[in-house]
Structure 1
Amino acid sequence: MADHVLLEAGDDLVRQLSHEREAVKAVLELVWNSLDADATKVDVTIERSGTTGIDKIVVADNGDGITPEKARTAFKQVGNSDKRVGGTTGRLQRPLHGKAGRGRLRAFALGDATRWTSTARAVDDQLMRTTIESEISRRTTWRIDTQPAPEPETDSPGTGTKVELWGKQASHLNKLLEPKAATQITAALAPYLLTWTDVRVSYDGQRIDPQTQIQAEEEEDLSFEYEDQTHPFHIRLIHWRTGTERTIALCDAASAPVESLDVAAEHADFSYTAYVLWEPMPLHRNEIPLVTLGGDTPLAPLLRTAREWIGARLEERRRRQRRQLVERWIEEGVYPYPRRPEGDQARAEQATFDLVATSINRHITGDRTKKRLTLSLLQNSLRHNPDEMVDILENVLSLSGDDVSHLHGLLQQTSLSNIIRASSIVTSRLQFLTALEHLVFDVETSGVVKERDHLHKILERELWVFGEEFNMMRSSEIGLTRVLEHHRRAIGWDPTPDGPVRAVDGGTRRVDLMLSAESHEHDRVRHLVIELKAPAVDADRDQANQVDDYMQAVLKEPRFANVETTWDFYLVVRSVKDRLKPSVRQANKPEGLYSEPTQFEHASVRVWVRTWSEILHEAKQRLEFVRKGIAHNPSLEQALAYLRHRHGDLLPDQLRQPTAVPTPRSEAAHNPAV
């Protein structure tokens, strides 16, 4: 006897509910259907088309089957499944999974044609075989055929269901052939199979046995607050031996999954499934999108509490594994650090090294020599190139995309790498200041260091010496007309001047360095114009007046006016001659201030005579608090080595080789004159 049943739902709704691109979830729904029918044996068979692709999928079980009466009811409507009436199966009293009446629709994710062949005891105890068929082009219409089935010749009840799905040519089906598919199915079925040990499920010829895949388990009773009430729930965390499974399964109190969250980006160094068991969970199965959007649902505090607990457990496990791994490296003699680091910077660097090295441990392979080399390369990358370390490791170790993403996340989330980066910067700067002091004050060195060829160009790369707030606008030695151009650009005007800017005497002038910074706090633009003199030159009135000419050019030039601007002109020299000292040490004025005209309406213009000893002292003071923290006091050899490495192309020939560096003899190097 055959008839046709029309599903009471629109084709678009059926398409939506079938989740046609989620092949693994579709297989799981069919397996759960079998388990809800009290099956003790479920086999998922994948028939291949040649050597690649999937020709047919078959899910067969020995459950109680589908009676003709149930078939006509179940395949006629969506939702309101009879499983909602009770929470357990009829015969074995096992927990029910399906409660929404949608599992059969998932079949269309696996085949364009579907056939259900089920044998069950009818209401009159007669064994009946029911065949239910449909196809993708008429997915709301089901052809149902029933006929008596022969009684089994053995003690077997003879009941069961076989679902056959074929005819779909879709790339997403290939996910069923990936190793990850079996891992996902294992994770989803684990609580059920661990509880009901007589149930056997196989997938593509292999038994699903979560017990063999479990590395560790943790569980705890927790609670969350919602609408001034305390709601208890239970959480069970299973750590898998292999795979990349990272899922939070939302379950009812009997561990039957209601929904699952893929949390692949969270704790990517572990494979785990967290089962959140909460009795009312089935009533909230559709609220996951609301959590994402910040909606008012109890799932939000529930998931927040669960995630905090999961994170704490995994972090403790991570710390434990790191300690064990580092101890093993120390015993093998391949660990590149001492057992107990000294100093804050050393501790920060070593802690970050442990964090990164243990995270990529599976790439640190080979014999003792290879391990030592890999760990040493990692140490060097972390110490000298923390910003580029992930790229270096990716190229050297051929890291996977997951590993690269994980390392980026580690270095972004931990402050330790930032400490190392800051310490590296401070160390380099201290070395530079020591070297600069040598260049400026040593008798023999200062004689070969030229203003234009060496000092200007080196300082262009190290402008922090004059203050962190400045950014150099252009290269050294630009004319006053270009100064105007940069000034206009800084204040948001058209930068193109309508004519040249000339000094007071009508000639042109060039400045060594121009720095600029915008002060948002007071709506002002600040410019710093620096005139450098060679280390052998001491400041006299002639040099001070040269800089004063720059200032006068700004004073008399209306194109520089009518904007809130601060102009500071620095003459930077090794020392100040006696006859100039009274002009830079005036009563009630800051030391070093040479000139400060008051006739400029909108701008503040000042001329300073600054000595290298003052500038170096101020720069060192800015670094002092960090220097104390990392306990770094660079030697002259270290400082000059840094200078050769960073600025070797700009140094005089006499300073490019270590053997050519003269021994400091000048008292000025230690007590520079002011």
Structure 2
Amino acid sequence: MRVRAGKNTILAQSERTTAVDVVAELVWNAIDAEATAVDVTVIPDAADGPGNAVVADDGHGMPFDNIPSYFQTHGDSWKKARRFSEGIKRPLHGQLGRGRFLTYGIAEDVEWSTTVATESGFVTTVVHGSRNRPDEFSVSDPQPEEGPRGTTVTLTLRQIPRTVHLVDGDLLPPLTAQLAGSLLALPDVTVTYRGQRLDPKSHIIDEIELPVPVPAKALHGLATPVLRFVEWDEDMSARRLFLCDQHGAVVTDVKPTLSRPAPIHWSAYLIWEGFRDQDLMSAADLALPEIRHGDLLDAAQTVLNDHLGQLTNDRKGAILAEWKAQGVYPYAGSPSTPAEEVEREVFDIVAVLASQAIGKDRRQKELSLRLLQEAARAEPTRTGQMLTKVLTLSDDEQEMLVELLERTTFGSIVRSAHTLADRVDFLAGLRRLLYSDETRKTFREVDQLHPMLVQEPWIFGDEWSLSLSESGLSRVVRAATSDAEYAPTPVTLPSGKRGRVDMVFYRHLPESERNRHLVVELKRPMRATMKEFSQLNDYATAITGHPEVVGTSNEWDFWLITTDVNDAVRNLWSNTSQPGLVMTGPQYRLWIMTWGQLLERAERRLEAFRQSLDLVSTEGTSRAYLQRRHAEFIPESEKDRPAR
């Protein structure tokens, strides 16, 4: 059974997901199937590493005749035509057609064993999918079964950091927070994770719904959203803004930008029916909702920050009074000088914000508060903030930091993380310039896109070194074969004309004594046709067919990058394992790929590190990076928009 979507499209979305996202999606699928009990278990392998994860439910199962409609489409779902389940009329969560495919973010193989009740008794069907062939599913014939009905999903876990967390980490708190909206609305549903019941109600200290004033144009004629703010009694690892439909079911989430620190554990749920609308929430919007819904998210961020600020002010006095009563507050009496007054004000703010990490017993509190006092005296404007971050590290994380500092410098760690953050922001910003309605028609190739990428050559691969930019073919040949600047025999195209290429990269392979070259042709937002293919082929023929190149130890790749391709070019993509490859010759390969494919390749190279650092690129951070690094190359419409 084939899926009506390409392998790379499927895997690109799954690679951006987390273990919590995958488990939550499978639980929601079970709830949509009218399950009342869902059990999640994790089975380590022989080495106590990631083995299998199993999600079992007692729902109505998947009838054999309906399975093709469940599995053959990506980004579409039978559920979008319905609002409620067929039997007990539950609000349906999954309407975006992605849950079953997200499993490939953490699993090599996935098996759905589903049992349904028929007129002649129970029958079981098994559906199998593999990450190696994500656009295919195998389906068994229905077999008689004793029952009961239900579906069991078995995932053979990948050996990657995010699955290790399934075995070693505690997913119960963040999973509880993510499923809270659905579980609170459906008290008849029981979900257990590794033997423990998910019970969001027992962890809620307080919750409040706050109106979110939004410009009418951002609502698209729909009702005004509401921000549900939940305060937890413990750290749920979920200080995020969850985007929910009108029933409270989570559609996706974003990490709030510049959210105010507060001495509490919290999650925020932005509830709006537009997040379930297919026209307002496409697959691309799930990954970057701030592009289409920036005004709405900005308004929610403002409401969230105002509420966090108010809570901090309300609780500051009680926290300080408790410390003074316990005798751990490091100051006595009133400040005697203006400097002492400033120091104490800084200390009070930082200490209150760090109060959850300071410790429970008296000795821990006294030592931590003394440390913060010294920091406030040494550098009241910055050291306190840094110490707050260090105080929130777990014991294991502090030990890892100490070990790292024995092998490198703190500055090197910061610079490496900063470089990664810049790259993540650049990819998000470039995607917006190429595809958003505001800039894609005005973003120019020669004086904007090209010089921008000259400064960001890593996007094509860290193994390449930029050797030439905007160069004639004769210079390309001479640079590849000798130290002279130009080839003695001019290099011409089959038409007799001389051509120029945008970018040339070089890489030496010492193990094989060969040299590799990458020639890149950039195109501003447009749809490539066979005309552009012919142009690329002419360049390849002229360069690799030149007498000074033929028979040398040079290998060549020619890339044409554009925003879209027509059907004739798309039909040249013959190798699904190498997206964009259209021709292979004796000395060269031709590639025509979209900017989306190139950006996904670059994102995959960064993804493991991005997840390890918990980095999130927002419209604000990506726009700030472009304005800081590439201000002279971005369209005027982008310059005029302030960084959010």
Tell me, yes or no, if structure 1 residue 33 matches structure 2 residue 29: yes
Is contact 1:245–1:264 with CA below 8 Å preserved after alignment?
Answer: no
Shift of 1:197: 1.0
Task: For 2:226, give the aligned amino acid.
Answer: H
The Cα shift of 1:80 comes to: 3.0
Match 2:226 to one of 222, 234, 250? 234
Letter in 2 for 1:50: A
8 A Cα contact 1:291 1:300, kept in partner? no
- SS state at 1:218 partner: strand
- Pair 1:61 & 2:57 matched: yes
Distance 1:398 1:300 in 2: 30
Quote the Cα distance in structure 2 between the aligned partners of 1:292 and 1:352.
Answer: 37
- 1-structure distance, mates of 2:193, 2:218: 46
Equivalent in the alignment of 1:135? 130
Paired residue secondary structure (2:187) = coil
1:360 Cα deviation (Å)? 2.9
Task: Tell me the CA shift for residue 261 of structure 1.
Answer: 0.9
**Do the aligned partners of residues 177 and 316 (structure 1) sit closer, same or farther apart at CA in structure 2, a change above 3 Å counting?**
farther
User: Conserved in 2, the CA contact under 8 Å of 1:259 and 1:285?
Assistant: no
**Which residue in the other structure is 2:549 paired with?**
none
User: Conserved in 2, the CA contact under 8 Å of 1:57 and 1:164?
Assistant: yes
Tell whether the 8 Å contact from 2:290 to 2:297 is kept in structure 1 after alignment: no
Which residue number corresponds to residue 19 of structure 1? Answer: 15
Q: Would you say 1:81 and 2:77 are equivalent positions?
A: yes
Equivalent in 108, 111, 122 of residue 115 of structure 1: 111
CA contact (8 A) 2:350 2:384 kept: no
Determine whether 1:379 maps to 2:373.
Answer: yes
TM-score w.r.t. the length of structure 2 is 0.55
- How far has the Cα of 1:103 moved from its partner? 1.2
| Distance in structure 2 (CA, Å) of the matches to 1:360 and 1:315 | 14
Matched, 1:259 2:255: no
Residue type of the partner of 1:54? P
Distance 2:189 2:232 in 1: 21
Q: Secondary structure at the match of 1:246?
A: coil
Counterparts of 2:127 and 2:288, CA distance in 1: 39
Q: How well do the aligned residues superpose, as a CA RMSD in angstroms?
A: 3.5
Alpha-carbon distance in structure 2 between the residues aligned to 1:86 and 1:63 = 18
What per-residue deviation string (whole Å, max 9, x for no partner) do you get for residues 203-225 of structure 1?
12221111222222111333311
Q: Does 1:101 align with 2:97?
A: yes
Pair member with larger Rg: 1
CA offsets per residue over residues 585-610 of structure 1, 9 Å max, x none?
Answer: xxxxxxxxxxxxxxxxxxxxxxxxxx
Distance change in 2, residues 1:326/1:44 (3 Å)? same
1:86-129 deviations in Å (ceiling 9; x for gaps): 1111112111110012211122223222211101235x575321
CA separation of 1:369 and 1:224: change in aligned 2, threshold 3 A? closer
CA distance in 2, matches of 1:45, 1:274: 28
Match of 2:265 in 1: 271
Pair 1:216 & 2:206 matched: yes
2:194 matched to 1:204?
yes
Q: What's 1:303 paired with? A: 297
Q: What is the distance in 2 between the residues matched to 1:345 and 1:388?
A: 16
State whether residues 182 and 203 of structure 1, in contact with CA within 8 Å, keep that contact through their aligned partners in structure 2: yes
**Pair 1:186 & 2:179 matched:** no
Q: Give the TM-score normalised by the residue count of structure 1.
A: 0.53
Query: Structure 1 residues 363 and 258, CA, compared in 2 at 3 Å: closer, same or farther?
Result: closer
Matched with 1:147 is 142
5+ residue gaps in structure 1? 153-157, 406-674
Counterpart Cα distance in 1 of 2:43 and 2:218: 54
**1:278-293 to 2 correspondence within 5 Å?**
278-283=272-277, 284-286=280-282
Q: CA separation of 1:212/1:383 partners in 2, compared to 1, >3 Å: closer, same or farther?
A: same
Amino acid at match of 1:220: L
Inter-CA distance 234–202: structure 2 relative to 1 (3 Å threshold): same
Match of 1:331 in 2: 325
Task: Please state how far the C-alpha of 1:287 moved relative to its aligned partner.
Answer: 8.2
The amino acid across from 1:322 in the alignment is K
Please give the secondary structure, in 2, of the residue aligned with 1:149: strand
Q: Distance in 2 between matches of 1:228 and 1:59?
A: 38
Structure-2 separation of matches of 1:245 and 1:196: 21
Please name the residue that 2:152 is paired with. Answer: 162
2:91 alignment partner, SS class: coil
**Conserved in 2, the CA contact under 8 Å of 1:72 and 1:144?**
no
Question: Quick check: 2:106–2:163 contact (8 Å CA) kept in 1?
Answer: yes
AA of the residue aligned to 2:69: T
CA contact (8 A) 2:259 2:301 kept: no
- Structure 2 runs not aligned, ≥5 long: 402-644
Q: In the TM superposition, what is the alpha-carbon distance from 1:371 to its structure 2 partner?
A: 5.1
Match of 1:117, SS state, is strand
Distance 1:77 1:378 in 2: 56
Amino acid at match of 2:230: I
AA matched with 1:88? F
Aligned length: 393
Report the CA distance shift for 1:380/1:390 in structure 2 as closer, same or farther (over 3 A). closer
Spell out the pairing of 1:359-508 with structure 2 (5 A cutoff).
Answer: 359-362=353-356, 364=358, 375-376=369-370, 378-386=372-380, 389-390=383-384
Give the drift of 1:268. 4.8
Aligned pair in 2 of structure 1 residues 247, 342: CA closer, same or farther (>3 Å)?
same
Contact conserved, 2:53 with 2:157, CA < 8 A, in 1?
Answer: no
* Aligned counterparts of 2:127 and 2:296: Cα–Cα separation in 1: 41
CA contact (8 A) 1:20 1:108 kept: no
Partner Cα distance (1:381, 1:138) in 2 = 55
| Residue deviations 1:606-646 (CA, integer Å, cap 9, x gap) | xxxxxxxxxxxxxxxxxxxxxxxxxxxxxxxxxxxxxxxxx
**1:49 is the counterpart of 2:51:** no
SS at match of 1:57: strand
Distance in 2 of aligned mates of 1:396 and 1:127: 57
Check the 8 A contact 1:57/1:110 in 2, yes or no: no
Q: Is the partner of 2:132 in helix, strand or coil?
A: helix
1:24–1:175 CA contact under 8 A, matched in 2: no
Per-residue deviation, residues 175-224 of structure 1 (Å, max 9, x unmatched)? 22344522221111101111211111111222111122222211133331
Q: 1:21 to 1:85 in 2, by over 3 A?
A: closer
**Post-superposition CA distance 1:399-458 (Å, at most 9, x none):** 6679xx9xxxxxxxxxxxxxxxxxxxxxxxxxxxxxxxxxxxxxxxxxxxxxxxxxxxxx
State how far apart, in whole Å, the 1-side matches of 2:384 and 2:366 are: 19
CA, structure 1 residues 373+277, in 2 after alignment: closer, same or farther (shift >3 Å)?
closer
Q: Which residue of 2 aligns with 1:250?
A: 243
**What percent identity do the matched residue pairs reach?**
29
- Aligned-partner SS, 2:314: helix
Kindly indicate whether the alpha-carbon contact (under 8 Å) linking 2:261 and 2:353 is maintained by their aligned counterparts in 1. no
Give the aligned partner of residue 456 of structure 2: none
Matched residues in 2 for 1:18 and 1:392: separation? Answer: 34
Structure 1 residue 398: deviation in Å? 9.4
Cα distance, 1:177–1:318 mapped onto 2, change above 3 Å: farther
Equivalent position of 1:176 in the other structure? 166
* AA at the equivalent of 2:104: F
Distance 2:161 2:231 in 1: 31
Contact 1:60/1:163, CA 8 A, preserved across alignment: yes
Distance in structure 1 (CA, Å) of the matches to 2:132 and 2:361:
60
Taking the aligned partners of 2:361 and 2:3, their CA distance within structure 1 comes to 65
Q: Displacement of 1:353 after TM fit?
A: 1.4
Deviation at 1:392, TM superposition (A): 9.4
- What secondary structure does 2:171 align onto? helix
